[in-house]
Chains A and B, each alone.
Chain A
Amino acid sequence: MSQTATQGAAGAAPAGAMPQRAGLILGALVVVALVALFAGARYGLLLAIGLGFGIALEGMRFGFAGPWRAMILRREPSGVLAQLLSIALVAVVAIPLLSSHAGELIGAQAPIGFAMIGGAFVFGACMQIVLGCGSGTLVNAGSGNPVSLLALPFFALGSFAGAWNLIWWTDLGALPILTLSGGAGLGVTLVLLALAAAIFLWRAAPGTVKLSRRHAIAAVLLALLAIGNLLVAGQPWGVVYGLGLWAAKGYAALGGDLSASAFWAAPGSMERVQSSVLTDYTSLTDIGIILGAFGVAAWRRGALASKLPSYPARAWVATIVAGFLLGYSSRLAFGCNVGAFFSGISTGSLHGWVWFVAAFAGAFLGIRLRPLLGLEART
Chain B
Amino acid sequence: MTRSFTAALALAFLAALLVFDLATTPPNPYQAPALLAFGSGSIASGGFCGALPN
Contact = CB atoms under 8 A, between A and B. Distances in A.
B50 A109 contact: yes
Contact of A272 (B17, B47, B54): B47
B44 A103 contact: yes
A336 to B, nearest CB: 7
Q: How large is the interface on A (under 10, 10 to 19, 20 to 34, 35 or more residues)?
A: 35 or more
Interface in B1-51: 1-7, 9-11, 13-14, 17-18, 20-22, 24-27, 29, 31-51
Interface of B: 1-7, 9-11, 13-14, 17-18, 20-22, 24-27, 29, 31-54
A280 B18 CA distance: 13
A45 interface: yes
List of 10 A-B pairs having minimum Cβ-Cβ separation, nearest first: A40-B32, A234-B37, A144-B3, A266-B53, A234-B44, A144-B7, A39-B27, A276-B27, A339-B49, A110-B50
A366 interface: no
A238 B29 contact: no
B46 to A, nearest CB: 4
A266 B54 contact: yes
Nearest to B25: A276
A234 B33 CA distance: 11
A282 interface: yes
Contacts, number: 204
B27 A38 contact: yes
B4 A42 contact: no
Given A145-B6, A241-B49, A38 B29 contact: yes
Contacts of A279: 27, 32
24 contacts: A38-B27, A39-B32, A40-B29, A42-B34, A42-B36, A104-B42, A108-B48, A109-B50, A143-B7, A144-B7, A152-B13, A234-B37, A234-B40, A246-B17, A266-B53, A276-B21, A278-B27, A279-B32, A282-B46, A290-B11, A294-B7, A308-B2, A335-B50, A339-B50
Nearest to B33: A42
A34 to B, nearest CB: 10
Given A253-B24, A297-B7, A334-B50, A103 B32 contact: no
A226 interface: no
A235 B31 CA distance: 19
Contact of A143 (B1, B3, B21): B3
Contacts of B3: 143-145, 297, 303-306, 308
Given A268-B54, A294-B11, A282 B48 contact: yes
A104 B53 contact: no
Interface in A311-356: 330-331, 334-336, 339-340, 343-344, 349, 351
Interface string A253-291: 100000000110011110010111111111000010011
Contacts of A343: 50
Contact of B24 (A239, A249, A330): A249
Given A282-B49, A330-B49, A344-B50, A149 B9 contact: yes
A273 to B, nearest CB: 8
B35 A45 contact: yes
A39 B18 CA distance: 13
A275 B37 contact: no
Interface string A227-253: 000111111101111100110011001
